[in-house]
Amino acid sequence: MKKITDHLYVVKEYNPNSQDCCVYLVDSQSDEGLILIDAGINQEPFQEIKKFGFDLGNLKHCLITHGHLDHFGACPMLKEFNKNIKFYAHELDAAQIEQKPTGQYVEQFFGDYNYEPIKLDHKIKDNEILKFGDLEFRCIHIPGHTKGSVAYHLEIDEKKILFGGDLPGIAININDGNLDDYIISMEKLLKYDIDISCEGHEDIIEPSDKVRKFIKNYIRFNQGLNTVVLENPYDTKTLLELAKNCYELQFYPTALDFCNYLLEIDPNHSEGQELLREIEKHNPEKQEFIKRLIKENFKGELRI
């Protein structure tokens, strides 16, 4: 756990080898106590709060960014510290949180996790303001990754801070995703000129120019991903762009995955071969994310 700025701490930092999300804590320095943004899926991060000198019984609010289990799975455990803690999420993702989660995503990544549903105390609407002491969280509805994704906007010491949940999450036209909604949502966020982005599966991103670049990169990423998964799995130009995009973002395993898939389609692709050599310098872990995603969702005939 470490301090980011006044009032704000990261409880669980980004770990590229973990499916769990980052967890953030805001100290309202008032009777409203401590506020968590997302809870993750494991209880271990909560002990970091105690080690840092905070009273776990003072955890009074948990703002959930969206209805994916890795962001709210540990919420029932929070009641062990404060049975009156209040939970907040958008009304369109409420069902995923208040019921046993099901579906391919849950089975694939969290098949052995037994989630006991919680009841939301407040269902958020777009542009709503949540006030805790002197702090005001603006709730920005950003559908695309899920129907009820929310970003929480907070200003501290003239710094505009955003808790985005999964801005870089998959937002293509499968499952709860919707690419058109995602693009509109990201363009909405760009207007806020964010100074610090606190992501669910990223390191802290700052200053504002890096935040803008990050968001724009992921608009392009999801546009390209939608193309190769649902329209043309053999689009080598888009696959190269995806690999370059991930390499620039330092997501080396994903960059490697796109590059390997590209070269499987076209073994003599010179730019792909050159990029692969650069990626391999970082010794990324191999995965087959893109091929699996295509096999599960492309409706046409596959040649490989």
Kindly report the pTM of this predicted structure: 0.92
Per-residue pLDDT of the chain (304 residues; tens, 9 = 90+): 999 999 999 999 988 778 889 999 999 999 999 999 999 998 888 989 999 999 999 999 999 999 999 999 999 999 999 999 999 999 999 999 999 876 655 655 565 677 889 999 999 999 999 999 999 999 999 999 999 999 999 999 899 999 999 998 999 999 889 999 999 999 999 999 999 999 999 999 999 999 999 999 999 999 999 999 999 999 999 999 999 999 988 889 999 999 999 999 999 999 999 999 999 999 998 988 899 999 999 998 887 6
The pairing of strands 128-132 and 122-124 is unpaired
Residue pLDDT, tens place only, 30-59:
999 999 999 999 888 898 999 999 999 999
State CA 210 to chain mean position distance. 17
Domains and CATH numbers, the chain: 2-207 (3.60.15.10), 232-297 (no CATH)
- Length reported for the chain: 304
How many Cβ atoms are within 10 Å of 268's Cβ, its own excluded?
7
Which of 32, 82, 30 lies closest to 57, judged by CA?
82
